[in-house]
Structure 1
Amino acid sequence: MFIAPISTQADSLLVQGKYNQLASLYEQAIADEPSVISHYWYLGLAYLLQAQEEAAQTTWLLAMAEAYDTEIERWTEELSQILDTEAQRQLEIENPQLSWLIRHHIREISPINIHNILYLIQLGIDLDKLTPEDFKNWQIIEILEQASTETLDLNLLTKVLKKILEFPLPEVLAFTEACFSHYTNCPLFFIESVMPIAVKLAYQADRPDFAVDLAKLCLKLNSEHPEALRHLSCFYSKVGNHEEAIKTAKHFFSNCVSPAWQIQASYLLLRALFSAGFWLDVEPITQRHKALLVEMLQNSEENPHSQINSHILTANFFLPYIEDQPKENRPLQNQISRIFQNNFQSANAHIVQLSWTNDRITTKKLKIGYVAHTLRSHSVGWLSRWIFQYYDREAFQTNLYLLYQSPEDHKWFREQVDCVRTYGAEPQAIVTQVKRDEIDILVDLDSLTLDTTCQVMALKPAPVQVTWLGWDASALPAIDYYIADPYVLPENAQDYYSETIWRLPHTYVAVDGFEVGTPTLRREHLEIPSNAVVYLSSQVGFKRHPDTVRLQMQILSQVPNSYFLVKGKADENTIREFFNKIAEDEGVNPDRLRFLSRDPSEFVHRANLGIADVVLDTYPYNGATTTLETLWMGIPLVTKVGQQFASRNSYTFMMNVGVTEGIAWTDEEYVEWGVKLGTDSALRQQVAWKLRQSRQTSPLWNAKQFTQEMEKAYKQMWQRYVEDQ
């Protein structure tokens, strides 16, 4: 009920929205009691509610003109309070536009009313009316800086701050800085409000630069806050400031005491180093990292409720880039994932206990859900799209549960599938929705590349759960199956995988091909002779293992008139120094190396592959999408095969296109194939011809057939589940 010193009749008219009658009522009240100043306030409000702004302002100004100097402040406060109450009421009855109008008039009457300005900002965002000019015109920053912390509604300020931070503008950063002084007595309140939004801005809105500024603000309040430091290092890497990323990670590690935090810190340091392509001193950091893991796991077996959280779950992420030791590293991951899942399920027991309501019959239309954060401008999106294009809509319903994606990111997918739902860091909400949707088989496309996805899968929202495509298996006990093929995992891999390995008959992924743009690279642009042999390696800094780079330089040293093109995401100066030093060590003139910037799009990248005669793969972490693109473009590839999933991607793809030339099992064979393909143009032409022919015959380029094989696997998985029950 509207609280004001007016009659019951006036109150009733206001609630009913009979503003014309309300105005008549107060016009008569003023005629009867001209000295009652509140009648003028309510009459002006009645006019304003009818959009008669000029009449409202005239009424209030005429009344104010009669005030003594000592009365002006009190009368202004009374009028502001009456208008504020009505603005709140209009918002409650879902009329934000009118609430916005009323608050604009409050600002004119009381321009330094900070709470009214905060409400205006909130309404402006909701109505999409707030502009950068408003910050200047309303003097928001100045008023906020001068506001008294003792009288400021901190909950309102925080609510507005969370909302306004969704817009990474310079004015918003200035607003956040102006808020800063009001949180000095409660720094965690500020940090825990700002950092989740900073993460969202960095990864969903692709504004890591803004996220850096927000994290640095948080650290001004608490210079050792672990979450702010942890994320800041990642933000720096994403924005390309690798030096600061490494520096922040080292600072984080120096302040960690417990093994759990030290593991997170060493993971961060490895991430920062690899993002830059900096491999010096990596080995001792890696050995220390593994020793910390072993120590923590030993303690965790004695204390199951130790600090194995989602950050520790991904601690092994970089080991496959460093070494090919699955028999040693997979059991470590199995142990970490098991303890994490037990802890996470215990903390979310109320969700885990929600039973499935799925019909347990084999003949029904199966509901397949896919959870991922990687469908936007990412390899997983390019490779998985075919299964959504070709799936049997009569036999399957397909739902997508997308993390950190905006509606524009999944427009194509929305047109292909039955349902698309988007989320932020809300694993519990996703789990609840998956159960409500009665998803029969939930497919994880992220694995250990995102902790939120792992949290979802750990709570077992679907009766059958599968990991496919995104990475190696997560080792969560809640995952039933890991999709592989006859080649991408060795025959004995089940010995060290906790999931059941489900091998498809040919390949674990297939595409109909790749869209190709117009090339922008020419040899003369790079000052490379037309008769030279051009080698290429296009990978991120993570994959530039020095031992493999050394083999690549040995190939170059044995092939006269050859050049090596290096392309990929990393710190340009670090990569250049790294390659040049190894080249000199192997007797190769660094002038034979060319360092290329990233192409403007994946389409141009594929077109530019044509400049290469031979592509040299990385090891122990092979190319995946880059290998598929190379083979599609008909370019010979040299790859070394290992034992882990990451070391066998190129192997399975080459076996599926029927090309064994270039497959090496040792360092010596890698160099031999590199030299042979570089010096034998006829052999290169023969391989290129095989690759072109494979477009018509290989299961690797038959996405429709592959989709049918996946669907057959889904049906068999579901039948096994029903029969086991």
Structure 2
Amino acid sequence: MLSFTTPNEWHHQAEKYFLAGNYSQAASLYEEAITLEPDVKSYYWYLGLILLLQGQDVEAQTTWLMAMMEGKTEQVEIWNNELVKVLQTEAKRRESLQEYTIAEKIRQSIKEFSPEDINNLLHLLQLSITLENYTGENLTELGINKILQSKSALKLDLELLLYTLKTVLNYAPAHPSSLEFTESCLPYFQGNNKALLFILLPVALEIGYSQKQFHAAAQICELYLQLSPNNTEVIGHLASLYQNAGEYKKGIEIAKLFFSLVQDLADKVFANRQILRGLMTAGGHWEESCYVYERQESLIKSLIEDNPKELSAARISRLFNANYFTFYIEDNPQKNRNIQNQLLQICQNSINTLEREYITKYSQGHLFRKKQTQINRKLNIGYISHCLRSHSVGWLARWLFQHHDREKFQIHGYFINTNPTLDALHEWYLIKVDKISKSDEYLQISEQIYQDEIDILIDLDSITLDTTCDIIALKPAPIQVTWLGWDASGSPSVDYFIADPYVLPDSAQEYYKEQIWRLPQTYIGVDGFEVGVPTVRRDELDIPDDAVVYLCGQRGFKRHPDISRLQLQILKEVPNSYFLIKGISDEESIKIFFDGLAEEEGIDISRLRFLPIVATESVHRANLGIADIVLDTYPYNGATTTLETLWMCIPMVTKVGEQFAARNSYTMMMNAGITEGIAWTDEEYVEWGVRLGKDKALRQQIAWKLKQSRKTSPLWNGKQFTREMEKAYTQMWEIYMNSQ
């Protein structure tokens, strides 16, 4: 209701017409009232408001100014405040009615009479976002940052300021004016850091991890640290954001600061892992990486010995992948799988305590459904991942989705941290599943999996995403399987790990907590890869046409110095040869790393070439054609890169180890019918590399065999592979249904 300053019959009668939308009758009453009582200023305020709402903006302004024309300065100030109060009341009423266009018009008029009313300006900002006419420049146009930065005392509604900040950051988090607005707000929350943290950190994580705008997310975290410089929660995330943004040096420094600030053992494990992550991703920092890795192993062993029972949810999530980089540093699965299994058991124990209600509910529900299950119905298969997009997992898993028998299986997709507007492959997946579920909240996804009555849940992430680990630990499906992404997680809630006859040695079950399910030929099958137009040429790289070109295209943390040294030894033995180095890493540190090794091996660094990352996977594959031989990494092989190399019919050299990551290329080459280039020792690796470099006829023979393999190899038969996976699912379900 309107609030009248001089309640009388004129106001009451006019108010009825006004609220009924009969503006002409209300205006007539106020005009008559002004004629009879020209000194009652409130008549002018309401008459002007009615004119404004009728679209008579000039007449409204004239009415208000006419009422103030003859007043003294003190009187005008009082009248101005009265008018603003009337307009504010009506603006709030319109906002409550969701009549936002009208509310914005009224607040623009308030701005004319009180241009520095910061609370009104904040409302205007929110209205521009609600009405979707916010451009990012509104903050500058309204002068909000300038007012907030001024030293004059402000009658500021802090709750309104906080809400507006949240609205702006959710709508346009990376816009420069949004970051300036955030900085302008900081002084007003000196005594209320937590309220600001609850807004800034979720926004930073959303735009960092979901929208991949790492620099903007890091800037938001940096702004918060101006208020609370030693906030370890923010510093821990900031280290990851800078590393993801490719600012490795800064990311490593912040991770070291994080490690120095935390005291709890679980926090030390996570912080040290953040240091290792930065060093390994940058590549080239192997001496320091090994030192930090040894410290990580010691910290994890101490944690296992302490065996904490009630870790917080945040600490559990950070421990899932604390052992992640171990498998890039050494090939010792008996030791490292045992550590991984124990670490995941600690996580599971704490989750059992924290989420007992959900775990009990799901377990009992599975038992009840097992008794009620109908015969000959479709199996409900759920796939869960954050990688069903333009990612190695996304490129490889698509053939399974493409060829699934929809008469026997209903396919559900549980997508985490995905932004469909940014990725065409993700959009493809959305139309290939029978039912879609998308969320970043693990309890929400877990409940959806349970409500969907998923029979077999396929985890494509392993320990690469904490949210997936949280979901798997709750066991929302009666059968849970890990496939494709990384190695097995070691989670007690996973029943099976998909492998094949080659990718794990016969003795592997001794150190795997999951039951290893070996498919008869290969654990992955694809129909092929799209190939674009190459963007690199030998002449542009100053490489002679008759030269032998070796290539290794792997991320920085796969470039172990031992295998890199062997690669350079191959180069040294093959005259007129060049080495192309490509992969996500810190360009400067990788060059220093290889230049140092080349000097030690007596190789001219002019024979090394560093290739930039290309925009699309299809171009990357086309560019593989510049190489005569691809040199694989160890102890962590290529996987997708190996398949792409074989599809492009390029010979390669790989060293076979014991762990899953050290046998990917081995199983793929075996399934493509190629044994040339498979090495079991360092000496064989160099021998194969040299032999392939010197024997052009052998290279041509291998290329021909690879081309022929496209017609017969199980590696290039996505439909056959899908039938094998479906057979495995059916057998898993039969085992479950027949179990006591």
The TM-score, its normalising length taken from structure 1, stands at: 0.93
RMSD across aligned C-alpha pairs, in angstroms?
2.6
Report if the CA contact (8 A) 1:308-1:336 is conserved: no
Distance change (3 Å), C-alpha of 1:338 and 1:686: same
Measured in 2, the distance between the counterparts of 1:133 and 1:307 equals: 37
* 1:85 matched to 2:89: yes
Distance change (3 Å), C-alpha of 1:79 and 1:504: farther
Which region of structure 1 is more displaced relative to structure 2, 596-605 or 172-181? 596-605
Indicate the residue corresponding to 2:548 in structure 1. Answer: 533
2:463 is aligned, of 448, 463, 473, to: 448
Which region of structure 1 is more displaced relative to structure 2, 343-352 or 115-124? 343-352
Counterparts of 1:208-223 in structure 2, within 5 Å, are 208-223=214-229
* Matched position secondary structure for 2:528: coil
* Matched position secondary structure for 1:115: helix
Indicate the residue corresponding to 2:416 in structure 1. Answer: 403
* Matched position secondary structure for 1:595: strand
2:393 is aligned, of 371, 380, 385, to: 380
Indicate the residue corresponding to 2:581 in structure 1. Answer: 566
* Matched position secondary structure for 1:314: coil
Measured in 2, the distance between the counterparts of 1:102 and 1:260 equals: 55
Report if the CA contact (8 A) 2:460-2:482 is conserved: yes
Measured in 2, the distance between the counterparts of 1:2 and 1:459 equals: 55
1:272 is aligned, of 254, 278, 293, to: 278
* Amino acid paired to 1:388: F
Indicate the residue corresponding to 2:146 in structure 1. Answer: 142
Q: Deviation per CA, 1:31-55, whole angstroms, max 9, x where unpaired?
A: 5654443343333333444444444
Indicate the residue corresponding to 1:157 in structure 2. Answer: 161
Q: Deviation per CA, 1:481-518, whole angstroms, max 9, x where unpaired?
A: 22222222222222222222222222222221111111
Report if the CA contact (8 A) 2:125-2:139 is conserved: no
Distance change (3 Å), C-alpha of 1:88 and 1:306: closer
Unpaired runs of 5+ residues, structure 2, are none
* 1:283 matched to 2:296: no
1:640 is aligned, of 634, 639, 655, to: 655
Distance change (3 Å), C-alpha of 1:85 and 1:534: same
- Give the superposition deviation at 1:129: 0.7
Counterparts of 1:346-357 in structure 2, within 5 Å, are 346-355=353-362, 356=365
Measured in 1, the distance between the counterparts of 2:726 and 2:36 equals: 82
Measured in 1, the distance between the counterparts of 2:245 and 2:674 equals: 39
Indicate the residue corresponding to 1:678 in structure 2. Answer: 693
* Matched position secondary structure for 2:654: strand
Measured in 2, the distance between the counterparts of 1:72 and 1:28 equals: 23
Indicate the residue corresponding to 2:257 in structure 1. Answer: 251
- Give the superposition deviation at 1:16: 5.3
Report if the CA contact (8 A) 2:386-2:418 is conserved: yes
- Give the superposition deviation at 1:175: 0.8
Report if the CA contact (8 A) 1:362-1:718 is conserved: no
Measured in 2, the distance between the counterparts of 1:329 and 1:699 equals: 31
Indicate the residue corresponding to 1:336 in structure 2. Answer: 343
Indicate the residue corresponding to 2:124 in structure 1. Answer: 120
Distance change (3 Å), C-alpha of 1:688 and 1:120: same
- Give the superposition deviation at 1:95: 2.9
- Give the superposition deviation at 1:272: 0.7
Indicate the residue corresponding to 1:593 in structure 2. Answer: 608
Report if the CA contact (8 A) 2:137-2:177 is conserved: no
> Identity of aligned pairs, percent?
51
Indicate the residue corresponding to 1:106 in structure 2. Answer: 110
Unpaired runs of 5+ residues, structure 1, are none
Measured in 1, the distance between the counterparts of 2:419 and 2:387 equals: 12
* Amino acid paired to 1:284: Y
* Amino acid paired to 2:280: F
Which region of structure 1 is more displaced relative to structure 2, 148-157 or 393-402? 148-157
Report if the CA contact (8 A) 2:309-2:349 is conserved: no
The TM-score, its normalising length taken from structure 2, stands at: 0.92
Distance change (3 Å), C-alpha of 1:440 and 1:159: farther
Report if the CA contact (8 A) 1:372-1:445 is conserved: yes
Indicate the residue corresponding to 1:550 in structure 2. Answer: 565
- Say how many residue pairs are matched: 724
* Amino acid paired to 2:74: T
Measured in 2, the distance between the counterparts of 1:481 and 1:313 equals: 18
Report if the CA contact (8 A) 2:4-2:42 is conserved: no
Indicate the residue corresponding to 2:432 in structure 1. Answer: 416
- Give the superposition deviation at 1:142: 1.0
Report if the CA contact (8 A) 2:125-2:138 is conserved: no
Which region of structure 1 is more displaced relative to structure 2, 629-638 or 571-580? 571-580
- Give the superposition deviation at 1:184: 1.3
Counterparts of 1:697-716 in structure 2, within 5 Å, are 697-716=712-731
Distance change (3 Å), C-alpha of 1:719 and 1:682: same
* 1:207 matched to 2:213: yes
* Matched position secondary structure for 1:237: helix
- Give the superposition deviation at 1:177: 0.9
* Amino acid paired to 1:412: W
Counterparts of 1:11-26 in structure 2, within 5 Å, are 17=21, 19=23, 22-23=26-27, 26=30
Distance change (3 Å), C-alpha of 1:96 and 1:332: farther
Report if the CA contact (8 A) 1:308-1:339 is conserved: no
* Matched position secondary structure for 1:291: helix
- Give the superposition deviation at 1:657: 0.8
- Give the superposition deviation at 1:57: 3.3
* Matched position secondary structure for 1:330: helix
1:394 is aligned, of 403, 407, 410, to: 407
- Give the superposition deviation at 1:305: 7.2
Measured in 1, the distance between the counterparts of 2:678 and 2:723 equals: 29
* Matched position secondary structure for 1:361: coil
Distance change (3 Å), C-alpha of 1:90 and 1:461: farther
Report if the CA contact (8 A) 1:361-1:722 is conserved: no
- Give the superposition deviation at 1:148: 7.3
- Give the superposition deviation at 1:554: 1.6
Q: Deviation per CA, 1:126-181, whole angstroms, max 9, x where unpaired?
A: 32211233222211101122387884333322222222224211111111110111
* Amino acid paired to 1:119: H
Measured in 1, the distance between the counterparts of 2:480 and 2:33 equals: 72
Report if the CA contact (8 A) 2:267-2:315 is conserved: no
Report if the CA contact (8 A) 1:260-1:307 is conserved: no
* Amino acid paired to 2:337: R
Indicate the residue corresponding to 1:297 in structure 2. Answer: 304
Distance change (3 Å), C-alpha of 1:223 and 1:30: same
Indicate the residue corresponding to 1:688 in structure 2. Answer: 703
- Give the superposition deviation at 1:619: 0.4
Indicate the residue corresponding to 1:325 in structure 2. Answer: 332
* 1:458 matched to 2:507: no
Report if the CA contact (8 A) 1:297-1:335 is conserved: yes
* Matched position secondary structure for 1:523: coil
